[in-house]
Amino acid sequence: MTVFNQLCRGISDFSGRNILRAGVSATALAACALPSIAWAQTASESDTATADDQNVDYNAIIVTGIRASLQSARTRKRDAEVVVDSISAQDIGALPDRSVSEALQRVPGVTLQRTSEARDPARLSGEGGGVFIRGLSFVRSELNGRDVFSANNGNSLSFEDISADLLSGVDVYKNPSADMIEGGIGGTINLRTRKPFDAPGFVAAVSGDINYADLRKKSFMSGSALVSDRWDTGLGEIGILASYSISNIGNRTDSISADRFLQRTLASDIDGHSAGDTVYVPNSVGFRRIDWQQERRAFDASIQWRPSSTLEFTAEALISKATPNDSEYYIGNSSQLTPEDPSFVYGDAGQLISGTANNQQPMLDTRAGRQRKKNQDYSFNARWEPDSHLTITGDVQYSKSTSKVYSMTAFTGMDVPATFDFNLSGDTPYLDMRPTDPAQSFADKSLNWWAAAMDHLEDNEADQWAIRGDIEYTFDDGFLKSLKVGGRWADRNAVTRQTTYNWGILSAQYWAQDDKVYLDQTGRAGGIQNPGLPNQSVYVPFHNFFRGEANSPTSGLWLPAPGLVNKTTGHAYDFLQATTLSWGWQPLSDDFSETTSKGGINNQGQETFSAYAVARFGMENSPFGRFDGNVGVRVVHTKLDALGSAINVGTISTNCTTADCTDFDRASNFAGGDLGNTLTAGSNSYTDVLPSLNLRYFATDDFQIRFAASKGISRPTFAQLNPYTSLNFSFDDTGAPNGTGIGGRTTAFTGTAGNPDLKPTRSNNYDLSFEYYYGRSNSLTLALFYKEISNYIFVGLEQQSYTSGGETITFDVNRQTNGAKGKIKGFELAYTQFFDFLPGDLSGLGLTANLTYVNSTGGQNSSVNVFDTATGDNAGLNLPLEGLSKWSYNVAGVYEKHGISARVAYNWRSHYLLTTSAANINYPVWNDDYGQLDASILVDVGDHMKIGLQGTNLLTSRTYLRVGDPSLKPRYSWTETDRRVAMVVRTRF
């Protein structure tokens, strides 16, 4: 047996790390695969685990394995005084999961959204996106117990942007204590980095892998390195750690999709349906192929200084950059399908499932998307222990996040009418596109023309200063164990700059085809000519589309070249201006004040003042038996201010010919005023009192019962607080009011607005868990949870008065508002077992599994963008909460013996509402059940190296999406993506 294996076995006595037992179900195999260095963690304000009941040398360098990770995981859960699960650095770093969010999906109660933007389900990312805890998106994020966030929303972190290689662990808190920062109703996720004093001396570790995506047919290389050391000097003990990670990943997604199914009335009999019957026909059918890749670079450094045994200083810095890029080809039909087509076949509910549509106008596009995201966090901590009873800590933190988004699309059409054969039933769709006239060809470049262009830009930034101080006094004996008080001040500011999606015509559209500029031409006749324009298109073959199982869009098609759209909008315009009409597409300016949709520029400020007290208590022998816990209260005051773009006042484009033109005349006077030059502003403040209780009762040494209760809040996002306002006038052709107001009444004065007066969503949280620990590594736990949630934020109509042009008018305004209530309840069941009783080599087998059930009643979804009418209307439908799966589970078989570490893990979640209003479709989209199989095997090579293979999505699982309300939601999208295999080398010294 190697020294490495001996150390892996010895880790069973080590408990200084936070490891999530349930999460190990997905991460266990790779734990020993990474012979990286693991260190005991210094207890922090959020780290409440205690030491194992065995003698441990916490300064020892320990190389961990699967079994050791599981043992440490159960120790963490058993000894914590709050409801928390964790994943260790070995689990994360040695997994095929490439990001924190993908690792977290293995945790009981945690589910992963597999698209970066829920409202854009057509574009599934190579890595998981949003994280939900117990069905809720109200998740707060921390770095080393300090608040962190992303510039895209201002409240939480995009976990997929953070490199997992640099972390020592991830904690998932599901019911907190009063000394934890407020803000997460669903839960709080804390990312922990390594420190130099965690190891006894010099440490170095290097790892690398080559990851191959089989559909993309491309390899991506990643690597990380860490070096750490500590020294005794005349100034005291000093330690320095630095680590760096480069992570590259990519994939290809092929999809066949329809559109929103429209209700149509048959004019004649067809397929067993009679004239007058209602059927449902999609707007379009089409193919999509997306090539996606991302580079993520991260740097972490820390310096620790211990001038004496009672005083310690720690300075840390973490910088992470993520640069995802995607290139997309899409081909579909732009003309509506005729419901009476004799080839059409309808399902039992009247939805179209197959047919042949002739003489369709094809519409094609190439889209490029690019993001540049950067997160920086700098902190300084001082800890003073003047005696054995008193501990005083002070903490200063500065965080900054930036996010830039670029999107550019060029559209083309063709003069070749197409026939679309399709079958939208079953798990494997069929879609074939061919010329309706066999004498024509899609390969003729001269029959393809420039149709339209669309661009979109964002430039967001946010930063925060935070200062915290704590004093804790520990008692020698008695019922009261310690008393801790503290306070925290934080000042966060964010600037959001976003444009519209700026669509404009180029030479023609299917409804305006009089002056086309073809792909082989240099420009419009008599207009600007660009000799490079014919080179801005490319013939694209669709080899192995959908792995050859769903046909393909013929042998190839002419589409805009990726090089045209993937640089800048100005670069695209240099060529496309030769195709435009005088009123055609113009690229967006980077002056974000020129846009009106979404508010253009939105400045937000949030200042919080909090104070708390926590008392820890317990008794070894009482009339009721052994118990311990903590009780506390947190009081937090929040101040908000916001400044948005100028109020948008609509125009009036008709005349009044009715008998009563009062409202029309008032509207004309109002529109002629100067309100449109007024910046919108708002401020708000509120105070919350948040008590908490965590109680643990020891029925036996191996069986314990927990009860936890707390109040929590989740503040509105900065987008919801945007004070921007758009006022509109609704008149018919005669000048009579025809808008819809409160109660369905008719009004001429409508509008949409953000709401800086929003209050936080609030909750009462209750947990009850039963935990049985047996043997060296085994456990069986059941956790019950219940949440009462109030002040859900949703879009509602409110009356608001404005003055302009000498008129004061009350508008019925759609704006975000508080008010809905709901309940979340469910359970988490987790099991871990190593089969030591089996003979010989079989004794290395183990099994981990967890199951989560979540049920929701009441509540309401929030509109993503209140200024987009469709998102507001659909958020008000009777729908379940977005992202909530009733059932999810993880099962992992593991093996560890003779220097071999192996794991086969399956993760599954049931169907859920992805979004109330998908982009372009403007209707609810649902994600069907999804399960994915991952595996890995790694082998010791000497004492300092492991090599192996890791596989992701081995079954090439497909993603199926549905569109519609709960009464009718047919499948509309089928997506196939890569199976990824990585060769891994990991070393440590």
When comparing pLDDT for 576 and 914, which is higher?
Answer: 576
Q: How far apart are CA 211 and CA 249, in angstroms?
A: 7
In the predicted structure, residue 91 carries a pLDDT above the cut 50: no
Task: Round to whole Å and give the CA distance between 14 and 688.
Answer: 40
Phi, psi (deg, nearest 5) at residue 160: -70, -10
Given a contact cutoff of 8 angstroms between Cβ atoms, the answer to whether 332 and 408 are in contact is: no
State the DSSP string of 414-479: ESS-EEEEEE--SSS-EEEEEESSTT--TT-GGGEEEEEEEEEEEEEEEEEEEEEEEEEEE-SSSS
What is d(CA 730, CA 654) in angstroms, rounded to the nearest whole number?
10
At 94, the pLDDT band (50, 70, 90 cuts) reads: low
- For the chain, give the percent of residues with pLDDT over 90: 61
Alpha-carbon gap, residue 535 to 520, rounded angstroms: 8
Question: What is d(CA 345, CA 428) in angstroms, rounded to the nearest whole number?
Answer: 17
- Candidates 958, 976, 926; CA nearest to 289 is 976
Q: How far apart, in whole angstroms, are the C-alpha atoms of residue 970 and residue 966? A: 10
Q: Is residue 33 scored above 60 in pLDDT? A: no
pLDDT at residue 859, rounded to an integer: 82
Cβ burial of 118 (10 Å; 0-12, 13-18, 19+) is buried
Q: How many other C-beta atoms lie within 10 A of the C-beta of residue 597?
A: 16
Distance CA 908, CA 911 (A): 10
**Which residues does residue 83 pair with via DSSP β-bridges, in sequence order?**
175
| SS3 readout for 542-569 | CCCHHHHCCCCCCCEEEEECHHHHCCCH
Residue 131 makes CB contacts below 8 A (sequence gap 6+) with 101, 104, 105, 110, 111, 112, 113, 139, 159, 189
Distance CA 166, CA 194 (A): 8
Kindly state the helix (H) or strand (E) to which residue 103 belongs, with its residue range.
helix 100-104
Placement of tokens 């046909």 in the chain: 551
- Encode 854-900 in three state secondary structure: EEEEECCCCCCCCCCHHHHHHHCCCCCCCCCCCEEEEEEEEEEECCE
The domain 3-258+285-333+362-416+424-446+467-501+594-675+696-988 having CATH identifier 2.40.170.20: the answer here is: yes
User: What phi, psi does 79 have (nearest 5°)?
Assistant: -95, -10
Asked whether the predicted pLDDT for residue 972 surpasses 60, the reply is: yes
- pLDDT band of residue 160 (cuts 50, 70, 90) is confident
Whether 599 shows a pLDDT value over 60: the answer reads no
pLDDT at 119 over 90: no
Report the range out of 3-7, 93-97, 297-301 with the highest average pLDDT.
297-301
pLDDT of the residue at 126: 61
Residue 869 — very low, low, confident or very high, per pLDDT cuts 50/70/90?
Answer: low
Burial class (CB in 10 A: 0-12, 13-18, 19+), 481: middle
918 and 120 in contact (C-beta within 8 Å)? yes
Q: Give mean pLDDT, residues 780-789.
A: 96
Q: What own/partner pairs with CB < 8 Å and gap ≥ 24 does 879-882 have?
A: 879/913, 879/916, 879/924, 879/965, 879/966, 880/856, 880/912, 880/913, 881/135, 881/136, 881/822, 881/856, 881/913, 882/118, 882/137, 882/912, 882/913, 882/914, 882/915, 882/916
Task: Please give the average per-residue pLDDT across 785-810, as a whole number.
Answer: 91
d(CA 770, CA 700): 12
Would you say 522 and 531 are in contact if contact means Cβ atoms under 8 Å apart?
yes
Token couple for 696: 């643990």
pLDDT tens for each residue of 454-463: 999 999 999 9
The dihedral through the CA atoms of 327, 329, 335, 336 has a sign that is: negative
pLDDT band at 554 (very low <50, low <70, confident <90, very high): low
User: Which carries the bigger pLDDT value, residue 915 or residue 358?
Assistant: 358
What single-letter DSSP state applies at residue 40?
A: P
What pLDDT is stored for residue 125 in this prediction? 65
**Do the beta carbons of residue 580 and residue 604 sit within 8 Å?**
no
What band does 89 get if pLDDT is binned at 50, 70 and 90? low
**Separation in Å, CA 258 to CA 120, 509, 561, 662:** 14, 21, 25, 47
- Rounded Cα distance, 567 and 120, in Å: 22
3-state secondary structure of 814: strand
Inter-residue contact 443 to 539 (CB < 8 Å): yes
pLDDT at position 23 = 32
What's the whole-number mean pLDDT along residues 789-807? 89
Mean pLDDT of 779-804: 92
Report residue 98's pLDDT band, with 50, 70 and 90 as the boundaries. Answer: low
pTM (two decimals): 0.88
Instruction: Identify which has the larger pLDDT, 896 or 96.
Output: 896
Closest CA to 822 of 315, 272, 135, 250: 135
pLDDT above 50 (res 20): no
Q: How far apart are alpha carbons 518 and 139 in whole angstroms?
A: 50
Per-residue pLDDT, averaged over 233-254, amounts to 95
Which residues have a Cβ under 8 Å from the Cβ of 834 and sit 6 or more positions away?
67, 70, 775, 776, 777, 778, 845, 846
Question: Could you give the CA distance from residue 852 to residue 909 in angstroms, rounded to a whole number?
Answer: 9
Q: Do 311 and 383 form a contact (C-beta atoms < 8 A)?
A: yes
Q: Which of 388, 385, 332 is nearest to 363 (CA)?
A: 332
Domain boundaries, the chain: 3-258+285-333+362-416+424-446+467-501+594-675+696-988, 503-587
| pLDDT of 849 higher than 90 | yes
pLDDT, mean of residues 172-188? 93
Cα separation, 634 vs 487, whole angstroms: 9
Alpha-carbon span 271 to 235, nearest angstrom: 88
When comparing pLDDT for 16 and 125, which is higher?
A: 125
> In this structure, what DSSP letter does residue 530 have?
-
Taking residues 537-562, report their average pLDDT: 88
pLDDT at 271 over 80: yes
Q: Mutual orientation of helices 66-79 and 3-10 as an angle, nearest 10°?
A: 20
Q: Which pLDDT tens digit goes with each residue over 334-357?
A: 878 889 999 999 998 899 999 999
Confidence label for 601 from pLDDT (cuts 50, 70 and 90): confident
**Mean pLDDT in residue range 566-573:** 95
Nearest to 874 by CA among 927, 820, 918, 823: 918
Q: Which is more confidently placed, 581 or 874?
A: 581
pLDDT of residue 6: 33
Closest of 31, 133, 129 to residue 72, by C-alpha: 31
How far apart CA 714 and CA 182 sit, in angstroms, is 8
pLDDT value of position 894: 93
Evaluated on CA atoms 125, 126, 132, 138, the torsion sign reads negative
Length reported for the chain: 989
pLDDT greater than 50 at residue 504: yes
What pLDDT does 470 receive?
Answer: 97
Q: What is the pLDDT of residues 749-784, one digit of tens each?
A: 998 888 889 999 999 999 999 999 998 889 999 999
pLDDT at 45: 34
Q: How would you write 749-803 as a 3-class SS string?
A: EEEEECCCCCCCEEEEEEEEEEEEEECCCEEEEEEEEEEEEEEEEEEEEEEEEEE
Q: Which parts of 660-777 are beta strand (E)?
A: 679-698, 703-714, 725-729, 739-740, 746-747, 749-753, 761-774
Contact criterion met (CB below 8 Å) for 522 and 534: yes
Please tell me whether residue 78 adopts helix, strand or coil conformation: helix
Which of 72-81, 217-226, 859-868 shows the highest mean pLDDT? 217-226
Mean pLDDT of the chain: 86
Judging by DSSP bridges, how do beta strands 749-753 and 807-834 pair with one another?
Answer: parallel
pLDDT at 99: 73
CB-CB neighbours of 43 under 10 Å: 12
Say what the pLDDT of residue 65 is.
65
